[in-house]
Structure 1
Amino acid sequence: MTDVLTSAGRLETTIADPAIDVAALGEILLGQWADIRRQARELAGRSEMHKVEGLNHTEHRERTFGQLKFLVENKAVHRAFPARTGGSDDHGGNVAGFEELVTADPSLQIKAGVQWGLFGSAVMHLGTAEHQDKWLPGIMSLEIPGCFAMTEIGHGSDVASIATTATFDPAADEFVINTPFSAAWKEFIGNAAVDGLAAVVFAQLITKGVNHGVHAFYVDLRDPATKEFLPGVGGKDDGIKGGLNGIDNGRLHFSGVRIPRTNLLNRYGRVDAGGSYSSPIASPGRRFFTMLGTLVQGRVSLDGAAVAASKVALKIAVQYASERRQFNSSSDTAEECLLDYQRQQRRLLPRLATTYAASFAHEQLLAKFDGVFSGANDTDADRQDLETLAAALKSMSTWHALDTLQECREACGGAGFMIENRFSSLRADLDVYTTFEGDNTVLLQLVAKRLLTDYGKEFRNVDFGVLARYAFNQAADLTLHKTGLRQVAQFVADTGSVQKSVLALRDEDGQRALLTDRIQTMVAEVAGSLKDAAKLPQPKAAGIFNQHQHELIEAAQAHAELLQWEAFTEGLGQIEDAGTKEVLTWLRDLFGLGLIDKHLSWYLMNGRISMQRARTVGGYLNRLLVKIRPHALDLVDAFGYGPEHLRATIASGIEKSRQDEAAEYFRRQRASGSAPMDEKVLLLKQKAAAKATRYKYS
């Protein structure tokens, strides 16, 4: 509020427009590991770390491998490893710093992820102290460049069904690794084509004629001196890809490759010299998911990297839209700023809101990850929560990043298509983020199954009377909605009061209720359809599940959206500055109402919103855009990325210089009186003169 002296001499208090404290908001966005993020951004801003456009894939690979050495020299990638091997046991900080590398070059980020986040982490989390002490120093120093050989051509995300085998030979005290057919070749393996000297290979462990399921084995691939494959190991270069061409992806296969029994990474499963198998986890299924759960770091880091890429894209696009002018619809002399057009606001600002939501959600995911892997909160329930949260958020943020990069590219017109302005290059590199470390659609099925499991647990120990009342209430609720009774009641409440309708939707509790109700209803409906599937023969049960796969994935997406909305809402609680909080609340409402608008057909068909109230959603979204528009630059500046991270010509201030130059040119021309007359103006003058002549002689 501001005290203003009026013309009558009275002192009046006026409410000033809110302003954002950019520095304070930036600190909140940096999160718990702010100092590490700053260090990582300083490193990512150095020119020797940047992607050089136009290199062929061989040159790009060589540059990226050299950049890995630079990371080692600057101790940038070892934070998660044990202190006794030179790390700092900082799991959350390690991911926070690692994901910032995407601003330098996504190829660098992913190749570093292969070396230390997958290969190194597999040795650390699936091996014992002996394995760590033997191999981690070389992995950390890059003396042992390595591969994470899990995915097979024939099974993709279905890791449990991979066909590579590791059969124990007790006479030699060795495992024999075999690829039985071409569909079992390890595919799209980073470092496999050129650089990898060793690999953690996932294979079915067979001993004494029993298959104990998928386990991890340390396997040497190449002679360090010649870089040639060792006997029995073969491979193929994947060549040029749609993006990430700084990574030497390739295929691997094995024919009778023998490794010592001690090369089994045996934290969760051991084989003694006699060939007997033992495990601290009796259930094969639980053992498998426990092993895979230790490798969730990849999904967590991809979520953060996708959010970072979205921030960079929006900073470039909003900066450009704030400076570029085109068409003079409201003035005879001045052209309109692109960001003042409603359609441009519709393109950029809702995606900005989603990026803020994804950013707050990622910080919560990172804290959950650190809690589990630091041991502070490491129960089975915590690990299951982490797995579900990572699957949900990684899916949403990687899809959002691609959508944001494409929309920002189009919003910048032809300039956005230029490689120098980053959009096309970043989009090509991030494309595969949606399908590696778990295909997004498959990950959402994992989330959906967890929702169904939790739903079932709610009724596991209740008596018949409770179940009967629940079934009755569900049926009554469905009848109420389908008959339109609730719609009629809401319509009566809404009639004549559009403002009341809007207030109900923009209210925090109202948004939460609508978003939560949609998930609960969808899960309940699918659960009801699947409740008898377990009693049926397997083919029929699978058929019923398949019939409802789409609804399951829709429910999982709705759950992920609610997670982001809740994280954004909780993030508002961290903001102390009143102006910043007000603007961020508008942005949260833009995100929440945008979700309701996106799924408006569901809310209408299921009677959750009346037609009268539904009509208010679009109008209120437009009013939010107008409120947020003056703060758009501050909101993207708070991301904290400088010119060294953006590296986009159109975000360098050059457009403002061009526009200022053009405006000054036309101003001087008008002032001099030498400007040529526009033909339309001439015609108007001629018509006016002719009219005056007719009037004179009439």
Structure 2
Amino acid sequence: MTDVVDRPASQASRPAARAHHRADATPSVDVAALGEQLLGKWARIRLHSRELAGRPELYKTEGLTHTQHRMRTFGQLKYLVDNGAVHRAFPASLGGSDDHGGNIAGFEELVTADPSLQIKAGVQWGLFGSAVMHLGTEEHHAKWLPGIMNLDIPGCFAMTETGHGSDVASIATTATFDPATQEFVVNTPFRAAWKDYIGNAAIDGLGAVVFAQLVTSGVNHGVHAFYVDLRDPETKEFLPGIGGEDDGVKGGLNGIDNGRLHFSNVRIPRTNLLNRYGNVDTDGAYTSSIASPGRRFFTMLGTLVQGRVSLDGAAVAASKIALKTAIQYATERRQFNASSHTDEEVLLDYQRHQRRLFTRLATTYAAGFAHEQLLQKFDDVFSGAHDSDEDRQDLETLAAALKPLSTWHALDTLQECREACGGAGFLIENRFASLRADLDVYVTFEGDNTVLLQLVAKRLLADYAKEFRNVDVGVLARYVVSQAAGTAVHRTGLRQVAQFVADTGSVQKAAIALRDEATQRLLLTDRVQTMVAEAGAALKGTNKLPQQKAAEAFNQHQHELIEAAQAHAELLQWEAFTEALANVKDPGTKRVLTWLRDLFGLSLIEKNLSWYLMNGRLSMQRARTVGDYINRLLVKIRPHAVDLVDAFGYGPEHLRAAIATGAEQIRQDEARAYFRSQRADGKAPVDEKVLLAKKARESKPQRR
């Protein structure tokens, strides 16, 4: 196995100018140690997956038709099977290793090879296979999982409908039990109920886990999962009663054969109900270990949260790839001779360039540390180490909070890095445009980001109601949430109330106060607390209103609630970054990472400066210092920028960007040598502006 943290290839492209910056820079970053920390708990699996992702067999080949891309991607799934990369989460009794966290850690790294491969693998094993494993019983496992694991049964996860995406509870496909034949009859009652955007549905899928309303004895028991055979394994034609069509070319991810499915009274055996949480007996009687229909629904969907977890990690990985490429290029590319008559400036020395890249670098670090905590929480729940109902709710809420931020951030980072690299960034060979197109859909599948944040907001309101049931709302604005180190991801709602720390507005102490960890925490947590308190006060008593009135009241405050949920998620990322600092042993690395954490925190405060001013949390004097201190942090981080992206551990085989190979440095060195030679030989032509200036001086009357 190749150790990509220390691989020589990733060091070879460093520009010569980097030595100059490092020679005088104090402190320095221990790149190898930081790289190991970033790899996290499942480092060995990540490295194995990266080694696979760095092989040409798994690369995305640009320029293929969507038909060719689909064929290549399906072949790559077989390559993953042959290389033992897909079985980690499955039961040890079937050849797996029951390693749920490691499984996600490995799969999300595949985004560096081709996002289509990562998602298609996720559909096959993370959704289709996972649904059979987590919603089915041992009988289902024995019957279908071996074929799913070795790709004998390519399959679909048929949940989303044309008319219902994020609102899964309202899907219209039905599965009605017929006691006379001991079968469920699966039916699509109208066009809007077609299963849509389903991976593997257009061509490859032989089976599917179909989500439908379970109806028996005239009672609808809500959404359940059913195993349905789709195609004849020999002819690959749809079985009787099943139809579908190809979704066609998409804005990205064209290695996946997304399609539509519909069912006309398709009969399946009663035992094809994946009945871990709900069962129908031979006489049609429904039973469930979870009495509440609502709780049962969320429990079933909660077992499938790994899709959101893996998207969070894949988005972070894509951001790292983009930043490594853009920052490497910015240390080599020169433009405009602002400070010298002979030498042009390196792009990364411009403050604006630092602003556009370093702030996103700081966010990527924060998102990466938060993802590692999410992954640990996921593994705790699915391994059974911490698997209470509260643990599962916390996991669901945490994933719903972090996935929107990381996927939006990935799109923003890819676009900004593209622009920061100019015309070169627009070339497909440098991957920004291609990656952005592929990741575009990440913000709306496995849960639309805005809808997910609304879920988080409702959890915050529920926690608020419990925490402050008997507290006067006017008092709450003067308090902030206490943040005990190490507790950020163990509870995803509001914390216990602590004393309010007033802002002094002192100009002399402003910069010191803002870079103080406690001050950043107070400002960030106070914003979340206050926003939730205000929304909670506005919505107080709506549970007693008629449904329509309650919905209207909630809708009037929907924007503020989603803003509060986003602020909460940003706080979780800041907390994760802060907790990670405690694990950094090298003093120099810790100091640089602290600057980066401060940059992340202050960037959040700067982004929401109007809120802090309008709500009296910052004086105008102190608010003016935020931007200045950010600019000072940029200068401090500048000498360490390449170290910080090298620590991501991605080599040329993962970047696959022409501008990150050192070619630009060679071009720039050649150009500078050429002009130096001209000047040394006296052969350089005289600049017209120099001549004009000389003539102007000579034409001035001489003073006597």
Partner of 2:91: 82
Partner of 2:184: 175
- 2:525 corresponds to which of 516, 522, 546: 516
Distance 2:357 2:562 in 1: 27
Q: Pick closer, same or farther for the CA change 1:337–1:16 going to 2, 3 Å.
A: closer
Letter in 1 for 2:74: F
Partner of 2:216: 207
Distance 1:303 1:403 in 2: 15
Letter in 2 for 1:36: I
Q: CA deviation at 1:472?
A: 5.3
Partner of 2:289: 280
Distance 2:464 2:124 in 1: 39
Q: Where do 1:460-499 residues align within 5 Å?
A: 460=469, 467=471, 470-471=472-473, 473-474=475-476, 490=503, 494-495=506-507, 497=508
Partner of 2:494: none
Q: CA deviation at 1:471?
A: 4.0
Partner of 2:11: none
Partner of 1:463: none
Determine if contact 2:477/2:533 at 8 Å carries over to the other structure: no
Letter in 1 for 2:618: I
Distance 1:339 1:213 in 2: 56
Q: CA deviation at 1:241?
A: 0.2
Determine if contact 2:88/2:100 at 8 Å carries over to the other structure: yes
Partner of 1:336: 345
Q: Is 1:123 matched up with 2:132?
A: yes
Distance 2:528 2:465 in 1: 15
Superposed CA deviations along residues 181-213 of structure 1, whole A, max 9, x for unmatched, are 000000000000000000000000000000000
Distance 2:51 2:183 in 1: 47
Partner of 1:290: 299
Partner of 2:702: 695
- 1:20 corresponds to which of 26, 29, 39: 29
Q: CA deviation at 1:411?
A: 0.5
Letter in 1 for 2:140: H
Q: Is 1:538 matched up with 2:543?
A: no
Distance 1:508 1:596 in 2: 13
Distance 1:384 1:516 in 2: 21
Q: Pick closer, same or farther for the CA change 1:490–1:197 going to 2, 3 Å.
A: closer
SS at 1:187 equivalent: strand
Distance 1:505 1:682 in 2: 51
Letter in 1 for 2:475: N
Distance 2:580 2:189 in 1: 52
Distance 1:189 1:674 in 2: 67
Q: CA deviation at 1:682?
A: 1.4
Q: Is 1:362 matched up with 2:364?
A: no
Distance 1:476 1:292 in 2: 38
Partner of 1:63: 72
Q: CA deviation at 1:648?
A: 0.2
Q: CA deviation at 1:232?
A: 0.2
Determine if contact 2:25/2:639 at 8 Å carries over to the other structure: no
Q: Is 1:630 matched up with 2:639?
A: yes
Superposed CA deviations along residues 476-507 of structure 1, whole A, max 9, x for unmatched, are 789xxxxxxxx9x856x515x2xx11111110
Distance 1:280 1:386 in 2: 21
- 1:314 corresponds to which of 313, 323, 331: 323
Q: CA deviation at 1:475?
A: 7.4
Show structure 1 runs of 4+ deviating over 6 A.
475-478
Q: CA deviation at 1:690?
A: 3.3
Q: Pick closer, same or farther for the CA change 1:223–1:434 going to 2, 3 Å.
A: same
* 229-238 or 678-687, larger mean C-alpha shift: 678-687
SS at 2:240 equivalent: coil
Alignment RMSD: 1.4
Distance 2:263 2:479 in 1: 59
Letter in 1 for 2:463: D
Q: CA deviation at 1:459?
A: 3.8
Letter in 2 for 1:72: V
Q: Pick closer, same or farther for the CA change 1:477–1:32 going to 2, 3 Å.
A: closer
Structure 2: gaps of 5 or more residues: 1-23, 481-499
Letter in 2 for 1:205: L
SS at 1:142 equivalent: coil
Partner of 2:497: none
Q: Where do 1:223-234 residues align within 5 Å?
A: 223-234=232-243
Q: CA deviation at 1:536?
A: 1.0
Superposed CA deviations along residues 433-457 of structure 1, whole A, max 9, x for unmatched, are 0000000000001100010111111
Determine if contact 2:53/2:109 at 8 Å carries over to the other structure: yes
Q: Pick closer, same or farther for the CA change 1:642–1:273 going to 2, 3 Å.
A: same
Letter in 2 for 1:643: P
Letter in 2 for 1:28: Q
Distance 2:506 2:519 in 1: 15
Q: CA deviation at 1:38?
A: 0.3
Distance 2:357 2:671 in 1: 26
Partner of 2:680: 671
Partner of 2:568: 559
Normalized against structure 1, the TM-score is what? 0.93
SS at 2:283 equivalent: coil
Superposed CA deviations along residues 621-659 of structure 1, whole A, max 9, x for unmatched, are 000000001100000000000000000000000000000
Distance 2:478 2:344 in 1: 58
Partner of 1:481: none
Distance 1:563 1:690 in 2: 68
Determine if contact 2:89/2:97 at 8 Å carries over to the other structure: yes
Q: Where do 1:580-659 residues align within 5 Å?
A: 580-659=589-668
Distance 2:58 2:76 in 1: 6
Normalized against structure 2, the TM-score is what? 0.93
Distance 2:315 2:359 in 1: 17
Partner of 1:262: 271
Distance 2:25 2:363 in 1: 27
Partner of 2:488: none
- 1:43 corresponds to which of 31, 37, 52: 52
Q: CA deviation at 1:253?
A: 0.2
Q: CA deviation at 1:689?
A: 3.3
Letter in 1 for 2:253: L
- 2:205 corresponds to which of 185, 196, 208: 196
Q: Is 1:405 matched up with 2:407?
A: no
Q: CA deviation at 1:534?
A: 1.0
What percentage of residue pairs aligned between the two structures are identical?
A: 78
Letter in 2 for 1:273: T
* 15-24 or 256-265, larger mean C-alpha shift: 15-24
Partner of 1:484: none
Partner of 1:4: none
Q: Pick closer, same or farther for the CA change 1:579–1:325 going to 2, 3 Å.
A: same
Distance 1:399 1:310 in 2: 10
Determine if contact 2:28/2:640 at 8 Å carries over to the other structure: yes
SS at 1:258 equivalent: strand
Structure 1: gaps of 5 or more residues: 1-14, 461-465, 479-486
Q: CA deviation at 1:695?
A: 2.9
Q: CA deviation at 1:673?
A: 0.5
- 2:359 corresponds to which of 350, 357, 367: 350
Superposed CA deviations along residues 299-347 of structure 1, whole A, max 9, x for unmatched, are 0000000000000000000000010000001000000000000010010
SS at 1:330 equivalent: coil
* 530-539 or 571-580, larger mean C-alpha shift: 530-539
Distance 1:64 1:535 in 2: 53
Distance 1:615 1:322 in 2: 30
Distance 1:442 1:558 in 2: 15
Q: CA deviation at 1:458?
A: 1.5
Q: CA deviation at 1:36?
A: 0.4
